[in-house]
Structure 1
Amino acid sequence: MITVPFARTVALVALAALGLLPALAQATTPKPPQVERLVLLMRHGVRAPLDGEVPPATRTGQPWPHWNAPAEQVTPHGAAALRALARADRRWFAAAGLVAAKGCPDPAALRLWTNSSPRTIASGEAYAAGFAPGCGVTVSHKPEGANDPIFEPLGAYPAAFDAKRAVDSILRYTGSAEALTRRHAKGLTLLKQVLACPAAPCSPVEPSSVRASEDGHGIDLKGPIRAASGTAQVLMLQYLEGMPLAQVGWGRATPARLEALGAVHGALFDVFSRPPYMAAFQMAPTVDRITQDLTAVTAPKIDMLIGHDTNVAALAAVLGVPVKAPGFATNDPSPGGGIAIALIRAPNGRQAVRLWYRSQSATDMRAARDRTVWAPLRLAGCDEGIEHRCPLPQFLKRLETATAPARG
């Protein structure tokens, strides 16, 4: 691990974003501050494709490669990458004063809470094994398959959700489903080149539209973005899984192309996670948990929440910050990547919050290396000093305001 002063690391991360120092930036991590508490909302690890993630009507020039895991589940390599991620986190947390560097952590200091799906539970178990090998760290969750509003709030059918207002918010945010498709025309064309199907179109053709679902509890998106988003994600997962490059997109999906295609995958969140009304409902129960983590006397020092890319995208929207992991498109949450919210003491002695997007690079995830990047996040209008602090009362008020539409 290469360590450099915090200010210089920020500069390196900025240069990396411009493509000037990608290799060095991936190997650097800011020196942790002293932290009182930390909550980290992260996506699960690398998994096999979801059933239907590549629409059945999608055509390719060659068969898709075989996966060494059941559909939708974390792969053995994905678990190894999560264990590596946890080892790197353990070093950062120890340097921040949250846990001891070695040994079994105090059960009251660390809480791992996952969604109730098998892939999130498996992700929590792999993370626990890497964080504290042999310690049997508890991974908590609701019964498998039960709805957990922290991660799937619309699945709890909140009474206040108004699908018409949701669609209106989506249309204002995107311009229209057709406009969203036009903005990603280059990515959709690139996807066709990678698929190399015998005759166009490669992906199912359907007019772009966004409307309330028939039951009134959700949103239905149709069109090229809906059809292509999952396909783009599967191609990236092939690379992260460590498949030979000749198999990743049949040898046509280079790392640079995969990063570009990530924008097509991330476009899905412009409908389901980022419009203000959608973000409010996707985040209200999670914001309640975060608020409790930062204020309750009985809260643990570290609360790890392991869910999905939709959760990370929605929290980023509520906070008004971008997320970017090396090798991934901006606002395309990476497997294992997450937003860290740290409670610290400002120089005036008052409690404040600092934010990071913590991730592995795509190349480190592919190799299951225990290196992470902690990219500082700045809250517009609440950004004090070189540490980008936000006073705790202001931070909590922002969360409350952003999720107000979901509170009746």
Structure 2
Amino acid sequence: MARLFLALIFCLLATQAAADERYQLEKVVEISRHGVRPPTPGNRKEIEAATARSWPQWNTADGDLTGHGYAAVVNKGRWQGEHYRQLGLLTTGCPDSAQIYVRASPLQRTRATADALVDGAFPGCGVQIHHVDGDIDPLFQSNKLPFAELDPTQEKEAIAARAGDLAALQRRLQPEVQQLKQAVCSSDCAFFDRPWQLRQTKSGHTYVQGLSVLASMVETLRLGWSENLPLSQLAWGNITSARQISALLPLLTTNYDLSNDVPYIAQKRGSILLDAIVKGLDNRADSPNTRWLLLVAHDTNIAMLRTLMHFSWQLPGYARGNIPPGSSLVFERWRDTTDNTRFLRIYFQAQSLDDLRHLTPIDSQHPLLRAEWHQQNCRETKVGTLCPYQSTLQQLNQAIDRHALSTVDYPQP
């Protein structure tokens, strides 16, 4: 009986091992948002004007990655490096360009986030971070280049159609507006009660006057919570729990809905990045030949990508479509070793509000929050939701506006 029991155990273990080894991870293309930062100079100016008070100064310059934000991203990078080594994508020791290629948006917060990710995944290796000279990279700042230029009339019409009745939308979000007002205002703050209206800048950019500033306040508070700011510096002591932050996030979601998530805007300004992802997954000649292509970007970039993909998510503790600091949109190419069929796994991942605040290491007890993308004919497996490679790639290709592309060069060491 003992021998029979042991034989059964060995059989079960062999079956489990076979199941785990059936799918082989071949390629990863990841688009990460930068980590925690203070409000940008522009954000600070508008939220202070709307509330008629000075918001707390952080230890880091406005818009730059903080030390706390760096540490949180190191935690994520450490987990990813270990995870991909366990899956056989990476080898032990320091990597060469065949294992990872990193390109960051040229801003300090994205370049520093890229450093933190590779410091976590490959400690002491000094992995090179690639970025363009100057402040504009076509992959990440396409809105500043002619090939992605919007028609002001079409942009306004697209946003107006998506917004519908702005007055009704404002009434529907009054609970969140009033909670925010109570948290950040020391006087009447008449700004909070003004009607939302569509406005165009001198350059023709359309935005929702009123809502956009409220969204900047919410984002600043969310970042402050993630930074572990003292409660006295977080809405002047009026916010003391992650639950209160979560309750305000629908204002940020609504602002996404009426800006980067508008299909016309996303297709014009996000096509170049989606095209780079497709080329990276398919090992095209004009993309780095590497196992892990890591692109460190901004929440606006991820928002446009998910709009092109029709990918909607809601992670625990966050509002629909929220893109927390350090979160990432991940594309994985897998191969079924039994017949060499390829699949794509696509998911969005982030840490919880409290895990970011407390710099909680990522492990089985505190895993990354994750939402998986799927379409018809996807299969649920032990490695996640795997979708047919060719049809999924074709679907991504169809979302790209070929008139909104430009040449992308990848510098080599």
TM range (shorter): 0.7 to 0.9
Structure 1 residues not aligned, in runs of 5+: 1-29
Query: Do the aligned residues in 2 keep the contact of 1:320 with 1:380 (CA within 8 Å)?
Result: no
**Aligned partners of 2:356, 2:138: CA distance in 1, in Å?**
29
1:31 deviates by: 12
Matched, 1:375 2:370: yes
**Pick aligned residue for 2:100 from 110, 115, 125:** 110
Alpha-carbon separation, structure 2, partners of 1:96 and 1:340: 15
Pick one of 258, 264, 277 that aligns with 2:264. 277
- Asked if 1:209 corresponds to 2:202, the answer is no
TM-score after normalising by structure 1? 0.84
2:216 pairs with 1:227: no
1:348/1:33 Cα in 2 relative to 1: closer, same or farther (>3 Å)?
closer
- SS state of the match for residue 214, structure 1? coil
* Counterpart Cα distance in 2 of 1:367 and 1:268: 28
Q: Which moved more, 1:288-297 or 1:335-344?
A: 288-297
Q: Distance in 1 between matches of 2:146 and 2:172?
A: 32
Out of 390, 396, 408, the residue aligned to residue 393 of structure 2 is: 396
Shift of 1:163: 2.9
| Alignment match, 2:71 | 80
1:324-339 aligned within 5 A: 324-339=314-329
Structure with max Cα Rg: 2
**Alignment of structure 1 residues 243-282 onto 2, 5 Å:** 243-253=229-239, 254-282=241-269
Q: Which residue of 2 aligns with 1:58?
A: 50
Residues 149 and 268 in structure 2, CA contact (< 8 A), matched pair in contact too: no
Unaligned runs of 5+ in 2: 1-19, 406-413
| SS of corresponding position for 1:35 | strand
Question: 1:296-307, aligned counterparts within 5 Å?
Answer: 296=283, 299-307=289-297
Provide the rounded CA distance (Å) in 2 between the counterparts of 1:376 and 1:385. Answer: 13
Q: Distance in 2 between matches of 1:111 and 1:90?
A: 14
Deviation at 1:334, TM superposition (A): 0.6
| Residue pair 2:99, 2:290 contacting (<8 A) in 1 also | yes
Kept in 2, the 8 Å contact 1:116–1:144? The answer is yes
How many residue pairs align between the two structures? 373
Q: What SS is found at the alignment partner of 1:36?
A: strand
- C-alpha distance in structure 2 between counterparts of 1:104 and 1:405, whole Å: 38
CA offsets 1:209-241 (integer angstroms, 9 cap, x no match): 054x4334xx22132211211111111111111
Superposition pairs of residues 95-174 of structure 1, within 5 angstroms:
95-100=86-91, 102-145=92-135, 147-158=136-147, 161-174=150-163
List aligned pairs for 1:283-322, cutoff 5 A: 283-296=270-283, 299-322=289-312
Alpha-carbon RMSD: 2.6
Does the CA contact (< 8 Å) of 2:335 and 2:342 recur in 1? yes
Question: 1:311 & 1:33 partners in 2: Cα distance?
Answer: 30
Worse overlay, 271-280 or 155-164: 155-164
Tell me the CA shift for residue 44 of structure 1: 0.3
Q: Distance in 2 between matches of 1:389 and 1:242?
A: 37
1:234 is matched by which residue type in structure 2? T
Code of the residue aligned with 1:227 in structure 2: it is V
Q: Partner amino acid for 1:256? A: R
Where does residue 44 of structure 1 map in the other structure? 34
State which drifts further: 304-313 or 33-42: 33-42
Q: In 2, distance between residues paired with 1:57 and 1:74?
A: 24
User: Under a length normalisation based on structure 2, what TM-score does the superposition of the two structures give?
Assistant: 0.83
Distance 2:122 2:145 in 1: 34
1:374 to partner: Cα distance? 5.0
- Listed one character per residue, the Cα deviations across residues 130-175 of structure 1 (whole Å, up to 9, x for unaligned) are 2211111001111141x11211212112266433223333233332
